[in-house]
Structures are given as structure tokens and as C-alpha cells.
Amino acid sequence: MKGKLDECHQDFGGDGGAKWLGYSSDMWTSRNMDGALGLSFRFIDRDMVVITIAAALLKLNDSHTAANVASKLLKVCNDRYGIDLQAVASSGASDTANAARAVQSVLGIDQSDCTMHVISLLLSYTLGMRENYKTDKSIDKEGKEVKVRYIVTPGGPFAFGSEIIKVLKDIANYFGSSPQRKDEYETIKKRALLPIQHIKSPGETRVSSHITLLQTAMMNHYAFTLYDMQTKDKAFNTLWEKCKAQSNWKVCFSVCVLIPDILFF
């Protein structure tokens, strides 16, 4: 891949020629509390083949300011690949956070939002999990200045999607908060020769965080049906009644299939 990068660099006139390289960068914290800076390249070679390179993974425990991060990116590109990132990069993709955007601003390179975040937003709005609000100032009938909040981008058309996810989280918490319920549930699954995989409910930061919830919920669908038939706990009966409709599970399936297909297209 290094040869392809050099070839493309020469084809477009080196650092003084056309801008031909796209890159993605991100920062996160490891389990050992080390800061990590990741970098990848994306470009098209002379045969019109799209090439993606995992360019760097650096430990970064010093300053995380935009200027320092930009400096690290410039250095690793020059040291490892002999290219001036500012000269050849047409755009940089990153998180939508202001700190990430600021790195591209320091480099003077156009910002493109990370594809995963764009997809996350699309699914958030489609499932009715998010609505974009804006607050403006207005003058009421009494001449007083008041704040008016209105919807810019409404959620939908599957507004019930957020309700499905909420109920599934409640089901996950139903079993997760009681060892006795969990044991009863496992016994039912073992008798029916079903997978022991439990429904999992991770964080709510992005739509992709809900994929684990939806996938494990689908794996437990038949087991939920059996548990509903055998338990005398009306709390679970009520939860299952809210989400057992076939249309709800079609939405779960569609989301679980849609995200991986788009991300790895």
C-alpha cells in the first residue's frame, strides 16, 4: 500500500501539485487511560481503485489541543510517508465534536463529518429518537422578550422506534436487576435448547450503541415469548405486550441489517 501511496503522490505532482488525499482521524482513551490518536488515508489510484490505509495509531498523553494534534498528524505523515498532509489533503473526516473540527481548522483543510456519525444521525431521526430544536427570541403580546423553542428537523417517520428501544431497555433491566428472574429465564432457555445469550443494554451515546441491544433482543425473541407464557409477573407481561407486535421486530431487524451494510459498503 505504501507503493500505491507514493505512486499517487507522484501522479498528482507531489506536495506542490493537486490535492488528492482524504484522511480520517480520531482520538479516544484506552482501558489503561492512555490517549490514542488514529489516522487513516483514503484515495483513488491510477486504475480507479479506492484504497484505504490504516496509517497510524499513536499514543498521545500530552496536550490534546487542536494545534498539538494537528502537529502530530503532520509529523507522522512526513516521517512515515514523506507527504505534507496540508499540501495534499483535500478533506479530513473526524468526529463532529468541536475539538475534532478544530484540528481541520488549524490545518486549513475542509472538514467532513465521520460517515458513522452521519449514519447515526440519519437513523436517529428516522426512528424518532432525535429531533433538532432551535431556540429564538420573540416578543409576546405584553411586549416582553421571551424564548421560543421550535423543531427544525422533526423525527420520523418511524416515531415508534424510540418507544421500542425504551421497552427493550426496560426488559434488559428487568432481568439484569434480579438474579432470581435471570435464573428462571435461563432455566426456560435451557429446557428449550435456546442460546444462553442475554439481552444487553449498553450506553445511549449513538444509534450504533443500540445495535447490541437490538441484536441480542432478536436472539431472545422466542425465549421472551416462552417466559411471557410461564411467568406470573405482570410487570414482564406488560412490557412484552408493548413490543411483541411483528411490526416492531421488523424495525429491529431492518436497523441491525442496515447499519453494517452501510458501514462496510
pLDDT: is 9 or 156 the higher one?
9
Task: Please check the confidence at residue 28 and state whether its pLDDT lies above 90.
Answer: no
pLDDT of residue 174: 93
pLDDT digits (tens, 9 = 90+) for 163-219: 788 888 899 999 989 999 999 999 999 999 988 888 887 665 555 567 778 888 888
Nearest to 210 by CA among 128, 95, 154: 128
- Triad 202, 121, 247: Cα angle to 5°: 70
Return the CATH number of 2-112, one of 3.30.420.40, 2.60.40.1120, 2.60.120.10, 2.40.50.140.
3.30.420.40
User: Cα torsion at 77, 78, 80, 83 (round to 10°)?
Assistant: 80
State how far Cα 250 lies from the chain centre. 21
User: How does residue 84 score in pLDDT terms, banded at 50, 70 and 90?
Assistant: very high
Task: Please check the confidence at residue 85 and state whether its pLDDT lies above 60.
Answer: yes
Set of cell numbers at residue 168: 427493550
User: How does residue 76 score in pLDDT terms, banded at 50, 70 and 90?
Assistant: very high
Longest Cα–Cα distance of the chain, Å, equals: 74
Task: Please check the confidence at residue 262 and state whether its pLDDT lies above 60.
Answer: no
Q: Are 61 and 35 in contact (CB under 8 A)?
A: yes
pLDDT of residue 39: 92
Quick one: residue 10, left, alpha or beta (phi over 0 = left, psi -120 to 50 = alpha)?
alpha
pLDDT digits (tens, 9 = 90+) for 105-131: 888 888 876 665 666 666 667 666 667
Task: Report, as an integer, the average pLDDT of 245-263.
Answer: 66
| Mean of pLDDT over the chain | 82
Q: How far is the C-alpha of 257 from the C-alpha of 242, rounded, in Å?
A: 23
Task: Please check the confidence at residue 9 and state whether its pLDDT lies above 70.
Answer: yes
Task: Please check the confidence at residue 264 and state whether its pLDDT lies above 60.
Answer: no
Set of cell numbers at residue 245: 407486535
- pLDDT > 70 in the chain, percent: 82
Domain ranges of the chain: 2-112, 161-263
Least confident of 81-95, 133-147, 180-194, 195-209: 195-209
Task: Report, as an integer, the average pLDDT of 14-20.
Answer: 85
pLDDT: is 265 or 146 the higher one?
146
pLDDT of residue 26: 84
Q: Are 156 and 126 in contact (CB under 8 A)?
A: yes
Q: How far is the C-alpha of 95 from the C-alpha of 62, rounded, in Å?
A: 20
Nearest to 9 by CA among 39, 35, 41: 41
Whether residue 154 is preceded by a cis peptide bond, meaning omega within 30 degrees of 0, is no
